[in-house]
A and B are shown apart, each in its own frame.
Chain A
Amino acid sequence: EAGVTQFPSHSVIEKGQTVTLRCDPISGHDNLYWYRRVMGKEIKFLLHFVKESKQDESGMPNNRFLAERTGGTYSTLKVQPAELEDSGVYFCASSQGQGAGQPQHFGDGTRLSIL
């Protein structure tokens, strides 16, 4: 089975520009998550989709970040306008079910560099 795929693997943009990250979860996984790791710190939760609905977006840093999951399949995370502090690695994960014991399957991440 194909794993979680993320595109692009690396993006370099200038401050003020817009970037859109894409995540394709494992087929059949209703739960999709976005996380971010900034400058070697801990990986932090951004938001959680169940199918096309946002279940929890408590980790979204501000309104420059917009996540969508139209049709409940792939998801996009748009940053507009990008700021220097948005640099980091953005991970997407998916899981079949919910609950504390459910492992999440991660993609390779998108490394975002804001100049």
Chain B
Amino acid sequence: GNSVTQMEGPVTLSEEAFLTINCTYTATGYPSLFWYVQYPGEGLQLLLKATKADDKGSNKGFEATYRKETTSFHLEKGSVQVSDSAVYFCALSANTGNQFYFGTGTSLTVIP
């Protein structure tokens, strides 16, 4: 079946620290992979995506590379800001259907 596992939170970092949020997946076929972000009091926003192996999605300084060999899509940012404080969700969309499969979300707090 299809599933996503992401690292447990919460994560607390100081401003300008390096961020990694791990995400691994199980899927039938060749899924597309996504990171969504939920800022406090808001809905889910698409942060980045990758649709095939070795693709790198990037946006707002965040990056994630679709690694088929390790079934991973880890989110990274070189220097986080206070405004990056949010909950981050890894998700996959399998090519056999239209529903998204989400991880449990990782809460990030960045302190000045």
Contact = CB atoms under 8 A, between A and B. Distances in A.
A100 B51 contact: yes
Interface string B24-41: 000000111010100001
Given A100-B93, A102-B93, A45 B43 contact: no
A106 B44 contact: yes
Interface stretch (A36-44, A68-76, A79-87): A36-44
Contacts of A104: 46, 100
A91 B43 contact: yes
B100 A45 contact: yes
Of B46, B89, B91, B102, which is in contact with the most chain A CB atoms at under 10 Å from its CB? B102
A101 B104 contact: no
B99 A101 contact: no
A42 B98 contact: no
Nearest to A31: B98
B23 to A, nearest CB: 12
A99 B98 contact: yes
B69 interface: no
Interface in A4-53: 4, 6, 31, 33, 35, 37, 40-45, 48
A106 B36 contact: yes
Nearest to B90: A42
Of B41, B93, B94, B103, which is in contact with the most chain A CB atoms at under 10 Å from its CB? B93
Contacts of B95: 99-100
A54 interface: no
Nearest to B49: A103
A50 B51 CA distance: 23
B4 to A, nearest CB: 7
Nearest to A55: B98
B94 A91 contact: no
B32 A101 contact: yes
